[in-house]
């Protein structure tokens, strides 16, 4: 959510800031702005809408001959939380004097009381945002030391923040800090780039430093000094980014989402590579940091996540119970910390987050650690907060995911969870031969997904027949039930069609009342245990006039006969079948959204990384 870019160096800052914001557009936003220091004054350009509007506004503000003379500044894309997406509410915000500018990701929870206190001292506020309160608070504390003023202000705020601050009184310096909202610093040659996401840094450098919570950094073109909020120096390691800027390009595809769907066979190979031991019938996941004895002593697996990650966790629940003979449950991360969960030291808590920065999931990690659980992270972004705070877990190696709607991260999450369940199963009751057989099933996943992607044109033709529907129901049983939830989520995210996912057995318990002539029902009727009952549910839907699109196992003529349309999935293990089935639904959602003319990569109101609760 939101995006921060800061630059200080030897190049034209406005161009670098705007290009950095463009690389963060996928995160979701509704307005943008930037601020630079010129001739002893802070000059701000803002615009509601897309970064292109800000670019036009900036070029009006800084004619071409002045554009290259500005060497540092800060910029922001805003996802509205306090106040609508207007120019006055866009970041950066200034303090009362106009000498300090601030960009901010996160939420200041006590901004109302702070604002009232500042208004009593004569401060005048222009916006409805919580962020403007923070800029005024820093200005109010400023006595010649910007670093100390930021520290003093942050001691008074409650909530989350990733910030970058500049002042006309201390040129050549940017102050940046974080708590609960990511900040990464890119180290270049005579330049430093500040960003909320490494995507904005890739074109400049591969060398980065990730700030930890309550870090505050003094950044110049040639130096980075990191302290905590009590002004105590801290050391943070320099890391190397493991992908390049080409990964953030569309590569000839119409949308990032379509590109990322097609990247899944390779992403899955990367997730699997070197992690299967066919001799032992197990998996090699050194990041878990566990011995067979450790795994044998785990009594319960708790999977926490939000959205798509929650759905992958639901599939993991089936896998841990079926393969590892272990009680497993899934909890919505936002509820985990507030419901006082019963957690013991024999519990394994797996935090699932593509970005590794999801605020609710991070809070769940901290609560699980507090209660003494064995905690692991399942993340895609190397160096992310959840990865660092868990200290153990598995990276997905899915590569950068730009589209807001998650595709390859989801299938890699499920694949890694299957490997984790296999490893745990081999430490318990799963035999060597069973392990070897299932390892071969996992190894085949990329090829299975390739067979689904080859049906792209067929799925596009099917989408054409259903793109005008305004309601859709997804039904499935067993491990395909979470896939029904994920399929419905994908469709509603990018096409704005009202879509619901249900366990097929739940239809008769209420939802069937909504069926009428022409209602679209997408039935996940793969050849797995419970298929016959799902087909019975399909017949019930047809009797009420619904149109049925069946996702079925290739060659299943019995299932095909009762469907209006079918998409075929290669035969495979029921747990493995979740992955090619999900890919088919991703393609279906994509083509329906494309036919409807929707903005696929940046759906309205959504953000890629949800870093506020």
Inter-residue contact 167 to 100 (CB < 8 Å): yes
490 is annotated as an active-site residue? no
The two structure tokens encoding residue 166 = 């500049």
| Active-site residue flag, 572 | no
Determine contact, residues 221/8, Cβ cutoff 8 Å.
yes
Annotated catalytic residue within 173, 423, 490, 608: 608
408-426 helix and 445-453 helix, angle to the nearest 10 degrees: 150
- In a 13 Å sphere around the CA of 63, the CA atoms on its Cβ side amount to 1
Alpha-carbon span 456 to 433, nearest angstrom? 36
Q: How many other C-beta atoms are found inside a 10 Å radius of the C-beta of residue 281?
A: 21
Contact 356, 387 (CB under 8 A): yes
- Give burial (CB, 10 Å; 0-12/13-18/19+) of 428: middle
Burial of 122 (0-12, 13-18, 19+ CB in 10 A): exposed
Q: Give the integer Cα–Cα distance in Å for 261 and 538.
A: 28
Give the integer Cα–Cα distance in Å for 339 and 335: 6
Our separate counts of H helices and E strands in the chain read 21, 26
- Three-class DSSP category at 247: helix
**Separation CA 216–CA 551 (nearest Å):** 52
d(CA 512, CA 311): 23
Distance CA 507, CA 477 (A): 12
Beta strand 471-476 pairing with 520-524: parallel
Cβ atoms of 271 and 418 within 8 Å: the answer is: no
**Catalytic one of 2, 151, 412, 572:** 2
In the sheet that holds 347-353, the strands lie side by side as: 327-332, 300-305, 347-353, 374-379, 393-395
**Distance between the two ends of the chain, CA-based, in angstroms?**
11
Residues tagged active-site: 2, 608
């Amino acid at each position: 959510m939101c995006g921060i870019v800061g630059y200080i160096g030897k190049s034209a800052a406005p161009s670098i800031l705007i290009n950095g914001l463009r690389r963060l557009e996928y995160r979701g936003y509704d307005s943008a702005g930037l601020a630079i220091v010129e001739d002893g004054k802070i000059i701000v350009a803002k615009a509601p809408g897309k970064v292109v509007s800000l670019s036009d506004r900036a070029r009006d503000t800084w004619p071409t001959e002045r554009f290259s003379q500005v060497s540092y500044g800060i910029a922001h894309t805003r996802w509205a939380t306090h106040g609508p997406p207007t120019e006055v509410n866009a970041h950066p915000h200034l303090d009362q004097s106009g000498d300090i500018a601030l960009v901010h990701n996160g939420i200041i929870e006590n901004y109302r009381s702070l604002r009232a206190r500042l208004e009593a001292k004569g401060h005048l506020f222009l916006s409805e945002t919580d962020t403007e309160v923070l800029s005024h608070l820093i200005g109010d504390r400023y006595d010649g030391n910007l670093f100390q003023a930021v520290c003093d202000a942050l001691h008074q705020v409650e909530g989350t923040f990733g910030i970058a601050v500049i002042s006309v009184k201390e040129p050549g310096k940017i102050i940046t800090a974080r708590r609960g909202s990511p900040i990464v610093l890119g180290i270049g040659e005579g330049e430093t780039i500040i960003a909320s996401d490494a995507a904005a840094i890739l074109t400049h450098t591969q060398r980065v430093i990730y700030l930890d919570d309550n870090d505050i950094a003094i950044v110049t073109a040639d130096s980075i000094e990191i302290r905590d909020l009590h002004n105590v120096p801290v050391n943070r390691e320099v890391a190397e980014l493991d992908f390049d800027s080409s990964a953030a390009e569309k590569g000839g595809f119409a949308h990032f989402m379509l590109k990322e769907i097609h990247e899944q066979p390779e992403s899955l190979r990367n997730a699997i590579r070197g992690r299967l031991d066919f001799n032992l019938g197990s998996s090699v996941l050194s990041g878990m940091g566990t011995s067979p004895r450790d795994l044998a002593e785990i009594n319960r697996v708790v999977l926490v996540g939000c959205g798509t990650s929650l759905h992958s966790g639901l599939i993991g629940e089936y896998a841990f119970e079926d393969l590892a003979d272990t009680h497993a449950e899934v909890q919505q991360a936002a509820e985990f910390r507030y419901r006082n969960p019963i957690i013991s030291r024999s519990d394994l808590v797996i935090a699932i987050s593509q970005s590794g920065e999801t605020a609710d999931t991070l809070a769940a990690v901290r609560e699980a650690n507090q209660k003494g659980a064995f905690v692991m992270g399942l993340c895609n972004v190397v160096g992310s907060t959840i990865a660092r705070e868990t200290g153990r877990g598995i990276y997905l190696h899915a590569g950068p995911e730009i589209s807001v709607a998650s595709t390859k991260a989801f299938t890699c999450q499920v694949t890694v969870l299957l490997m984790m369940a296999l490893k745990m199963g081999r430490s318990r009751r799963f035999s060597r031969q069973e392990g070897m057989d299932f390892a071969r099933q996992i190894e085949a996943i990329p090829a299975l997904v390739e067979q689904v992607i080859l049906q792209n044109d067929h799925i596009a033709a099917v989408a054409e027949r259903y793109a005008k529907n305004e309601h859709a129901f997804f039904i499935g049983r067993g491990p395909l039930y979470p896939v029904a939830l994920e399929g419905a989520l994908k469709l509603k995210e990018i096409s704005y069609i009202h879509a619901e996912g249900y366990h097929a057995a739940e239809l008769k318990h209420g939802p069937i009342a909504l069926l009428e002539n022409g209602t679209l029902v997408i039935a996940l009727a793969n050849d797995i245990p419970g298929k016959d009952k799902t087909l019975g549910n399909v017949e019930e839907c047809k009797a009420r006039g619904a149109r049925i699109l069946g996702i079925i196992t290739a060659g299943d003529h019995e299932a095909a006969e009762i469907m209006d349309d079918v998409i075929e999935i290669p035969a495979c293990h029921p747990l493995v079948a979740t992955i090619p089935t999900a890919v088919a639904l991703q393609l279906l959602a994509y083509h329906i959204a494309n036919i409807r003319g929707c903005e696929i990569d940046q759906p309205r109101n959504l953000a890629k990384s949800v870093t506020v609760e």
